[in-house]
Structure 1
Amino acid sequence: MKKNFFFSLLLILGFTKIHSQGSDTTNEKIDTKKLFKELTDQACSCIDSIPTYDRIKDSITANISSCIDDKVGAYQLAEKFTSIDLSNPTDEKKEIKITMNFDKNSKEYKDIYYKMEKYLMDNCSVLKDKVAANNLVNNNSMSSNKKALDYYNSAIDETKKENYKGAIEYYKKAVKIDPNFAFAYDNMGICYRRLEQYDLALESYEKSLKIDPNGLMPLQNIAVVYSYKKEYKNAVKTYEKIAKIEPNNPEVFYGIGQIYALHLNDNEKGLDNMCKAYNLYVEQKSPYRTDAEKIIQMIYADMKKNGKEEKFNEILKVNHLNSN
């Protein structure tokens, strides 16, 4: 929807101006590159404040999207101001017409949103942590035993310091007190994985699954560990198990697509799955859309080199995407 806003020059002059490098004081203008960074950094701080404990992914990604949306309009407005000469105003009450497009489906809005999203994926480390969070609590996810929780929290502190061996020792103490402490096994597995002790990581995840057979966190991590171990068919089977529990989980299609394209030399299956992941990421407003897009571009380059550009476009069409 198009909305027209009328701003007096007095208001414009009161707008926070950022001096562009090399500009003199008589011709101030908004430095859109600097403003873009400031706005996306603010979005990153907003994302950092989003709680993830015991929340479904859709709710978390909706909050992330809101943090970005909040900055798109401000940047869009700044871009409009750059086309206005603010130097030496002759009439402080002069009205300037600025047309803004706040339709989130418009190309103008999407271009800015995706530009910010990409910057955040590359520069805001907390973003991936929030998207990857899988802390939905089930009956045995957390312990009700205070001592077990104390050990668990100490393990979390050691993990933050990247002392994975120390964290594992605390997790072991926690599960010794409470053998049904699923999150402790999950995080223990992550620590083993970071130490590249993959068999012990799998063992930890399997213990978590015995407590909660539908635990998404251990299943997703098992698929990742199988990929590290180069047991790609086992990784695909694990993703397929996740699909039975959560059929609209884009991580399933992304994981399978990546394995087929990068490791099993099957670009067609890889592309089909990656397109499905991309569509779900877009639908769920997940910033991981940018990662799927990169893999699709990589597959395109390989298929084009091998004379399969027509097949590439055919698969995109089936998934309601275009190659532009």
Structure 2
Amino acid sequence: MIKKTVTILILFFICSWAFGQKDKDFDKKKLIQELSDNACKCTDSITLLNRDKKDILKDINDCIDKQAGALQMGSLLGSVETLQKNAPEVDGKKQINLTFNTNKKSQQYIDSYNELESYLMRNCESVKYATKVSETKNDELSKDPIALEFYNKGLQASQKEDWKEAIINYEKTVEKDPKFKYAWDNLGINYRRINEYDKAIFAYKKSLEIDPKGKMPLQNIPLVYIYKKDFQKAIDAYLDLDKIYPGDPEVYYGMGQIYFSGIKDEEKALDYICKAYRIYSDQKSPYRSDAEAMMSAIYKSMKEKGKIEKFKEILQKNNMQL
């Protein structure tokens, strides 16, 4: 694919008027925040009901994509002062060449997209919520209207981070409809949030009795074991997930967490996280930013121990580079 570039010629006096900022004044963080707010509002308008995961993720991707080009250009223009110093003169005036690569496979675009995505996953509730909802099949919700009412109240309480109120409503949900697996799943999540780990595992296992292939409980049981610092049971639980969903990035990401934070084996941790990152990237999943953050933490730890070459070797093994 031929890369398409646009060259912008800007005279020195135009730069001073149009941009009015020097490098030291360029606030990239503020620009990221403003563009992310736009992407977050865009995500608010995404239809979530009765839609496939891939379609929801594509809509999230489109919302970020609309702002990535603006960040790419803003970052480029933020370096005008540096370019001015080294720019050649034409007819007594400085001429600045800014090359803006519009190819979405370019490193410029990828970096801009990833920065926005990472910010959104930390700060935008609608992106986090839409990503989670993409795992839920709406045709499997309860047919009992009272149970569904309690379930929705539980969701509302969870969004307000009122975990105990959420638990009360989810417990009422499963009393009305004991076969409502998503209520058991959310009950488990909220028990985990208040450190009631054994109750969380009980709720997840009740969900698996209804659907032995339930992805949410299979993903969350190992997390509870990690919180309990029972790392072997957490590994076994991830292997159970892998048996039913081979190649799922959550297996690799979770195993990476265990080996890095629990078992303290950075090399194994990095290998797993690299695998997770590649799959998240292929899926255009916002969870890619979590894998990036984990790789950054592993890099810092290995650098302090003089193991940068080993870090690079593991990246190369996974077709990645520093």
Please, what TM-score do these two structures have when normalized by structure 2?
0.80
The 5-angstrom pairing of residues 27-106 of structure 1 reads: 34-78=30-74, 100-106=100-106
Q: Which residue of 1 aligns with 2:91?
A: none
Name the aligned partner's letter for residue 39 of structure 1.
L
- Of stretches 149-158 and 38-47 in structure 1, the one that deviates more from structure 2 is 149-158
Q: Deviations over 1:179-237 (max 9, x none)?
A: 21111111111121112111111111111110011111111111111111111111112
Residues 19/128 of structure 1: CA separation in 2 closer, same or farther (3 Å cut) = farther
1:221 aligns with 2:220: yes
- Of stretches 32-41 and 261-270 in structure 1, the one that deviates more from structure 2 is 32-41
Name the CA distance, whole Å, in 2 between partners of 1:80 and 1:268: 36
Name the aligned partner's letter for residue 145 of structure 2.
K
Name the aligned partner's letter for residue 71 of structure 1.
Q
Residues 180/3 of structure 1: CA separation in 2 closer, same or farther (3 Å cut) = same
Please, what TM-score do these two structures have when normalized by structure 1?
0.79
Q: Which residue of 2 aligns with 1:131?
A: 131
Local SS of the residue matching 1:218: helix
Local SS of the residue matching 1:190: helix
Cα offset for 1:312?
A: 2.4
CA contact (8 A) 1:40 1:120 kept: yes
Higher helix residue share? 2
Q: Which residue of 2 aligns with 1:232?
A: 231
Residues 268/98 of structure 1: CA separation in 2 closer, same or farther (3 Å cut) = closer
Name the CA distance, whole Å, in 1 between partners of 2:215 and 2:163: 22
The 5-angstrom pairing of residues 1-324 of structure 1 reads: 1-4=3-6, 34-78=30-74, 100-133=100-133, 135-137=135-137, 141-322=140-321, 324=322
Name the CA distance, whole Å, in 1 between partners of 2:265 and 2:126: 33
- Percent pairwise identity: 45
Residues 34/272 of structure 1: CA separation in 2 closer, same or farther (3 Å cut) = closer
Name the CA distance, whole Å, in 2 between partners of 1:175 and 1:239: 26
Cα offset for 1:251?
A: 1.6
Residues 230/308 of structure 1: CA separation in 2 closer, same or farther (3 Å cut) = same
Residues 273/153 of structure 1: CA separation in 2 closer, same or farther (3 Å cut) = same
Cα offset for 1:153?
A: 2.0
RMSD: 3.3
Aligned residues: 300
Name the aligned partner's letter for residue 103 of structure 1.
N
CA contact (8 A) 2:57 2:134 kept: no
Residues 313/207 of structure 1: CA separation in 2 closer, same or farther (3 Å cut) = same
Q: Which residue of 2 aligns with 1:25?
A: none
Name the CA distance, whole Å, in 1 between partners of 2:35 and 2:307: 42
Name the aligned partner's letter for residue 239 of structure 2.
E
Name the aligned partner's letter for residue 275 of structure 1.
C
Cα offset for 1:279?
A: 1.1
CA contact (8 A) 2:44 2:126 kept: yes
Name the aligned partner's letter for residue 124 of structure 1.
C
Name the CA distance, whole Å, in 1 between partners of 2:310 and 2:250: 24
Local SS of the residue matching 1:104: coil
Q: Tell me, which stretches of 5 or more residues in structure 2 are unaligned? A: 85-95
Residues 172/69 of structure 1: CA separation in 2 closer, same or farther (3 Å cut) = same
